[in-house]
């Protein structure tokens, strides 16, 4: 969760607190004094017409059924904004349009107006309580603002709303959203405190039975006091630096490592001084009783230092990092989740199942069973080639950002994915990980066992029992915990036979949407093994992408089937699909670069800029698909006249007539456009889509088969 930014204007803070008090007083006398209050402010409070309700809810991506009250409206006396206030089923909502400045006058008026609207809508409020703060705030800054003015406006508005609207224990945090800047009311996290304290220089002086911190002529004693002070000062300084930096940009593992290394260097100097004092203390010629007291004080300090720097990690800095995660990412607690099972080992680390209590997280499904994963020690070759750092690749941020981008673009092809804080099984330390909702069904490809090696075959092979020798691509070995070979077998990889794949509209649309998303997020390793196919309601086939932590690399490129060199071949994603869903086209083209700003908390500057560039390229391709009439629509759906006009304008069409009769997903023409293109060489066919990848895999040969035989499809699993 973003930290609560401190206000720089003391008078504004005072006014906001005064406004909160006035709000409570208005709550005590709402029925008697409400009209007087409104008239004294010369404010005109109105309600939105049915047509206005439909337009506003549509722009906020709500249905009219979500709104359970009239929508109240009020204008700024300074023409600085227009405000709307209403109730959803989950609580009050505030929408602010055309906010043009964040001056003292404007923001103080905004806080006052919010309370006026709330009082107007809660006229029957009982108990003398102030109205509850909005659970969601949608903010549309004036489009004429410069980038710097826009950022200042957002920061000052968030500060003001947190001070003027929120009770203790709550705060607003920003979410990815299209068209508006969306703030959501969340619980302020309970921060962690260091468990182990280290005595300060003056405490050590007293423990040693001394009166002064500095004693002329006592070099060893003075060295101990000085190096202890240097250590304490360095810990505090590095902690402050991490906190300050985290408010402007994401903290990287390198930031923490650099700070911790400096603290550990000071700790080494301190330990050297302490050991020298213990070894040479006899030369101080002081009474043995006092000398023993000094020794006990030194030993006590050494134990404190060991506890506060376990495994060469300073606890104060570690707690600072964990509090940064709590404040910025609002993670679930993986340590308190219901006991899950080990699901397996992926390319990037262990994968575990957990069942989380998400009763306080309305953004998540009621029953949230998820695969939990923590960061791997290093990125795989595909991720590294795409620009993801080899060391500390930060998979959790990438996986959660993928889910958020899927929602922002309106694609719905990624299961709910959130941050967790828990113990990494690999490092045994508290770390930031992620949980992705468990998806039923089957992977798009299955490894089918074709032959299990006997003990005699393993012995005769000369290599199967030797972990230092690589095996063939279609062989697999299973080792037990003691490193002894349990079994070895050959397998063949086949794509799953999806029922009526050539006419299944939802399946085709979902795969196309996943391919579009991967072109935006830059998925470095999307293969059919991390495409999940599930049988949803009404026997509908749905597609979800999993293993989304190799994403947002700064050097990502789509698949290049003509390249011979590995570093020129790009990723496994074959560019944009040949046909685009028309509603996906609308939602994606409405996304602006400003809508991506919340990603800055998860990505480096280079990764953020690369994502913006990829989005622009995807939008450019979609405009071309509109011009080339390469759009499709789901059976039974229609495209509104407003969306037709929007797409025609975006693609610079003379009119929207070409958008009236669109081919449907599941039709022959759409499916044929996805067929792989055969080549005349020994190379695999050229594919333009994930559907094409499935077909190409089924048509490809395998070493275990006859030269003229293709591997074909695997049957739909019985347990899927």
Judge whether residue 1 has pLDDT over 60.
Answer: no
Tokens 């499709």 belong to 632
Predicted structure pTM score: 0.86
Mean pLDDT to the nearest integer, 425-442: 90
Tokens 């050297």 belong to 272
Q: How far is Cα 39 from Cα 546, in angstroms, rounded to an integer?
A: 57
- DSSP state letters, 204-244: HHHHTT-S-S--TT-HHHHHHHHHHHHHHHHHHHHHHHHHH
pLDDT category, 19, cuts 50, 70, 90?
very low
Q: How far is Cα 66 from Cα 310, in angstroms, rounded to an integer?
A: 51
Q: How many residues does the chain have?
A: 720
Please check whether residue 601 is in contact with residue 328, taking contact to mean a CB–CB distance below 8 angstroms: yes
Q: Worst-scoring range by mean pLDDT, 9-18, 586-595, 604-613?
A: 9-18
pLDDT category, 161, cuts 50, 70, 90?
confident
Assign 99 to helix, strand or coil.
strand
pLDDT at 408: 96
Six-digit token string for 666: 């599941």
Q: How far is Cα 444 from Cα 532, in angstroms, rounded to an integer?
A: 6
Shortest CA distance to 447 belongs to which of 481, 478, 469?
478
Q: How far is Cα 611 from Cα 202, in angstroms, rounded to an integer?
A: 53
Shortest CA distance to 519 belongs to which of 403, 384, 616?
616
Number of neighbours of residue 206 by Cβ within 10 angstroms: 13
Q: Mean pLDDT score of the chain, rounded to an integer?
A: 85
Q: How far is Cα 580 from Cα 232, in angstroms, rounded to an integer?
A: 60
pLDDT at 538: 75
Shortest CA distance to 165 belongs to which of 112, 127, 99?
112
Q: How far is Cα 59 from Cα 544, in angstroms, rounded to an integer?
A: 26
The answer for residues whose C-beta is within 8 angstroms of residue 628's C-beta and 6 or more apart is: none
For residue 668, give Cα distances in angstroms to 158, 503, 505, 542.
52, 7, 11, 20
pLDDT at 290: 64
Please check whether residue 700 is in contact with residue 711, taking contact to mean a CB–CB distance below 8 angstroms: yes
pLDDT at 239: 95
- DSSP state letters, 27-54: HHTHHHHHHHHHHHTT---EE--HHHHH
Q: How far is Cα 634 from Cα 652, in angstroms, rounded to an integer?
A: 24
Describe the strand order of the beta sheet including 541-545 as a list of residue ranges. Answer: 442-443, 531-535, 541-545
Q: How far is Cα 523 from Cα 614, in angstroms, rounded to an integer?
A: 12
Judge whether residue 590 has pLDDT over 90.
Answer: yes
Q: How far is Cα 324 from Cα 421, in angstroms, rounded to an integer?
A: 11
Any idea what the Cα angle at residue 676 is, between residues 495 and 472, rounded to 5°? 45
Judge whether residue 182 has pLDDT over 90.
Answer: yes
pLDDT at 344: 64
Q: Worst-scoring range by mean pLDDT, 50-64, 216-230, 675-689?
A: 675-689
Tens digits of per-residue pLDDT, 366-421? 889 999 998 888 898 899 999 999 988 999 999 999 999 999 999 999 999 999 99
- DSSP state letters, 591-604: --GGGGGGGGGTS-
Mean pLDDT to the nearest integer, 256-272: 96
Mean pLDDT to the nearest integer, 681-690: 81
Q: How far is Cα 151 from Cα 622, in angstroms, rounded to an integer?
A: 30
pLDDT category, 17, cuts 50, 70, 90?
very low
Assign 434 to helix, strand or coil.
strand
Task: Give the best-scoring range by mean pLDDT among 188-197, 623-632, 678-687.
Answer: 623-632
Judge whether residue 638 has pLDDT over 50.
Answer: yes
The answer for residues whose C-beta is within 8 angstroms of residue 348's C-beta and 6 or more apart is: 373, 376, 379, 380, 393, 395, 547, 549, 550
Write out 638-670 in H/E/C secondary structure: CCCHHHHHHHHHHCCCCCCHHHCCCCECCCHHH
| Measured distance between the N- and C-terminal CA atoms of the chain, rounded to whole angstroms | 37
Share of the chain above pLDDT 90, in %: 49
């Amino acid at each position: 969760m973003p930290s609560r930014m401190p206000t720089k204007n003391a008078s504004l803070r005072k006014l906001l607190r005064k406004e909160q008090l006035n709000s409570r007083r208005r709550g005590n006398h709402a029925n008697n004094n409400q009209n007087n209050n409104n008239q004294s402010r010369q404010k005109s409070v109105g309600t939105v017409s049915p047509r206005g309700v439909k337009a506003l809810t549509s722009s906020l991506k709500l249905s009219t059924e979500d709104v359970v009250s009239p929508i109240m409206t009020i204008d700024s006396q300074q023409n600085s904004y227009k405000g709307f206030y209403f109730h959803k089923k989950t609580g009050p909502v505030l929408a602010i349009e055309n906010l043009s400045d964040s001056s003292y006058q404007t923001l103080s008026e905004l806080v006052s107006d919010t309370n006026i609207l709330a009082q107007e809508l809660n006229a029957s409020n009982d108990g003398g309580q102030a109205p509850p703060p909005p659970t969601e705030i949608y903010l549309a800054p004036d489009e004429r603002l410069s980038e710097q003015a826009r950022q200042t406006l957002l920061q000052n508005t968030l500060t003001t709303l947190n001070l003027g609207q929120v009770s203790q224990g709550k705060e607003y945090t920003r979410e990815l959203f299209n068209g508006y800047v969306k703030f959501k009311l969340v619980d302020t996290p309970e921060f962690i405190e260091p468990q182990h304290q280290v005595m300060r220089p003056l405490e050590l002086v007293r423990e040693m039975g001394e009166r002064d911190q500095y004693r002329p002529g006592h070099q060893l004693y003075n060295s101990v006091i000085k190096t202890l002070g240097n250590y304490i000062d360095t810990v505090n300084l590095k902690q402050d630096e991490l906190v300050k930096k985290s408010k402007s940009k994401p903290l990287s593992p390198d930031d923490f490592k650099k700070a911790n290394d400096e603290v550990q260097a000071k700790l080494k100097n301190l330990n050297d001084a302490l050991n020298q004092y213990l070894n040479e203390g006899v030369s101080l010629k002081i009474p043995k009783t006092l000398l023993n007291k000094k020794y006990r004080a030194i030993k006590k300090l050494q134990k404190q230092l060991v506890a506060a720097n376990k495994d060469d990690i300073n606890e104060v800095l570690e707690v600072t990092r964990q509090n940064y995660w709590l404040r910025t990412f609002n993670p679930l607690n993986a340590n308190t989740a219901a006991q899950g099972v080990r699901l397996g080992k992926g390319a990037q680390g262990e994968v575990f199942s957990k069942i989380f209590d998400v009763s306080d997280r309305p953004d998540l499904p009621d029953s949230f069973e998820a695969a939990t994963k923590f960061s791997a020690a290093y990125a795989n070759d595909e991720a590294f080639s795409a620009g993801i750092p080899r060391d500390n690749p930060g998979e959790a941020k990438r996986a959660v950002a993928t889910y958020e981008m899927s929602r922002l673009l309106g694609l719905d092809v990624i299961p709910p994915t959130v941050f967790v804080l828990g113990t990494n099984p690999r490092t045994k330390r508290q770390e930031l990980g992620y949980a992705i909702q468990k998806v039923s069904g089957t992977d798009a490809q299955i490894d089918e066992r074709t032959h299990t090696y006997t003990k005699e075959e393993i012995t005769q092979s000369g290599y199967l029992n030797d972990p230092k020798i690589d095996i063939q691509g279609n062989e697999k070995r299973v080792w037990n915990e003691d490193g002894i070979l349990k079994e070895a077998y050959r397998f063949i990889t086949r794509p799953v036979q999806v029922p009526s794949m050539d006419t299944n509209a939802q399946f085709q649309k979902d795969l196309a949407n996943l391919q579009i998303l991967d072109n935006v997020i830059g998925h470095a390793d999307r293969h059919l093994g991390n495409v999940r196919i599930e049988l949803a309601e009404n026997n509908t086939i749905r597609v979800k992408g999993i293993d989304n932590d190799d994403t947002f690399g700064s050097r990502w490129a789509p698949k290049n089937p003509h390249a011979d060199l590995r570093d020129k071949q790009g990723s496994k994603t074959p560019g944009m699909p040949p046909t685009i869903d028309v509603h996906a086209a609308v939602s994606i083209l409405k996304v602006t670069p400003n809508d991506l700003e919340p990603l800055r908390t998860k990505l480096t500057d280079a990764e953020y800029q690369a994502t913006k560039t990829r989005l622009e390229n995807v939008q450019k391709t979609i405009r071309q698909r509109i011009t080339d009439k390469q759009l499709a629509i789901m059976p039974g759906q229609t495209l509104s006249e407003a969306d037709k006009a929007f797409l025609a304008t975006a693609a610079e069409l003379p009119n929207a007539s070409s958008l009236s009769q669109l081919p449907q997903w599941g039709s022959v023409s759409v499916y044929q456009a996805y067929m792989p293109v055969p080549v005349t060489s020994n190379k695999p066919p050229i594919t333009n889509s994930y559907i094409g990848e499935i077909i190409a895999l089924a048509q490809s040969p395998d070493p275990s088969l006859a030269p003229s035989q293709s591997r074909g499809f695997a049957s739909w699993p019985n347990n899927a």
